[in-house]
Chains A and B, each alone.
Chain A
Amino acid sequence: MKEVNNTYKSQKLIKIFLKYDEANNTIHSIAITGDFFIHPEERIDKLEADLAGARLDRDSIINVIEKSLSGSEIFGFNSQSMADAILGCLNK
């Protein structure tokens, strides 16, 4: 298990703390913090839970984010920039 983090500037700042399984290239767990807005706020917990187990490739991550946050309103990032923030951890 590898632990990495990344700070990514979208319209707002996104900070990612990622634990991932290098062998399977999947997310073990993730913490997403920052000065963005999600309405309702509690959806961030669902997003973090839904991302656990996701494959660390852009399409898979975007797919999870869009499904997980469907019906909520977001300011400060979109599914693409959140995926970039997460995958940016791998370059650290």
Chain B
Amino acid sequence: MSLKFDKIRVLETGYNQASWNMALDEALLNKMDDTPVLRLYGWRPPAVSIGYFQNMDQEVNVDRCKHCGIDVVRRMTGGGAVFHDSELTYSFLTKKYPQSIIESYELICDAIIIAINKLGFVSKFSPLNDITINGRKVSGNAQTRKKNTLLQHGTILLNANIDEMFSVLKVPSEKLRDKMITDVKQRITVLDKTFDEVAAALKAGFSEKFDARLVMDKLGEEEEADTKNLVREKYATHQWNWKR
């Protein structure tokens, strides 16, 4: 599947709190025009995001997160709980996309695969929503469609602290903890590259995949204000984060 864009607006929004990161995605989605947006970002402090359909207390050791200064937030997308620490996160928003959900995942993941391969790896799409290197997951992705806009966001692992991850994510039983840590260590892989190296590769990957020129941009005042409102009214609230 191929799709061309004249240009892609690129936002490098740095490291931010979880509620701000998720609020900005929604603020961008709410005011999208015809130019797709590629946003690259990180999480400070580290954070756990849960999928739209998950229950915070079932998935996350919230007391441990509070103790360690780790943010928690509910995403507007489905999927599982993610510990955001040593990774690059991207969001891609577009009004032009395949209606088939699998096709649209594959299309956008292709840009990421091009990027990862530019860094010297051989990665591939692993349906529905993962990218793997030698069968081990390096990138997980999730999407939603609202207001005729597709939002896909996902992570690319730069490094991984699995032990810390399992200290903040709940496991079915303590007896299984060690086995789960071993399993996850075998099922994932990391790029061991810097944020900037992966960001540069991603920009090149999206430009190549969509035959688009990149327009580096900054958030507008209205986007900043919308984001602040969404933090206050939604993503930093107990009502949203403990919604299910």
Contact = CB atoms under 8 A, between A and B. Distances in A.
Interface of A: 7, 12-13, 15, 31-41, 44, 73, 75-76
Contacts, number: 52
B79 interface: yes
A33 B53 contact: yes
B98 interface: no
Interface-central residue, B53, B76, B81, B145, by most chain A CB under 10 Å = B53
B235 interface: no
26 contacts: A15-B55, A15-B58, A32-B53, A33-B54, A33-B55, A33-B58, A34-B53, A35-B51, A35-B80, A36-B53, A37-B77, A37-B78, A37-B79, A37-B101, A37-B128, A38-B53, A39-B101, A39-B144, A39-B145, A41-B52, A41-B53, A41-B76, A41-B144, A44-B53, A73-B101, A76-B78
A41 B240 CA distance: 14
Contacts of B175: none
A54 to B, nearest CB: 20
Contacts of B78: 35-38, 41, 75-76
A34 B55 CA distance: 8
Contacts of A15: 55, 58
B229 to A, nearest CB: 21
Contacts of B58: 15, 33
Interface in B58-104: 58, 76-81, 101
B54 A40 contact: no
A15 B172 CA distance: 12
**Chain B at the A interface: SS class:** loop
Interface-central residue, A31, A32, A39, A40, by most chain B CB under 10 Å = A39
Contacts of B128: 37, 75
Contacts of B145: 39-40
Contact of B53 (A7, A35, A40, A73): A35
Given A40-B146, A73-B101, A75-B101, A33 B80 contact: no
Given A7-B172, A40-B146, A41-B76, A35 B101 contact: no
A37 B145 CA distance: 12
Contact of A33 (B77, B142, B244): B244
Contacts of B52: 41
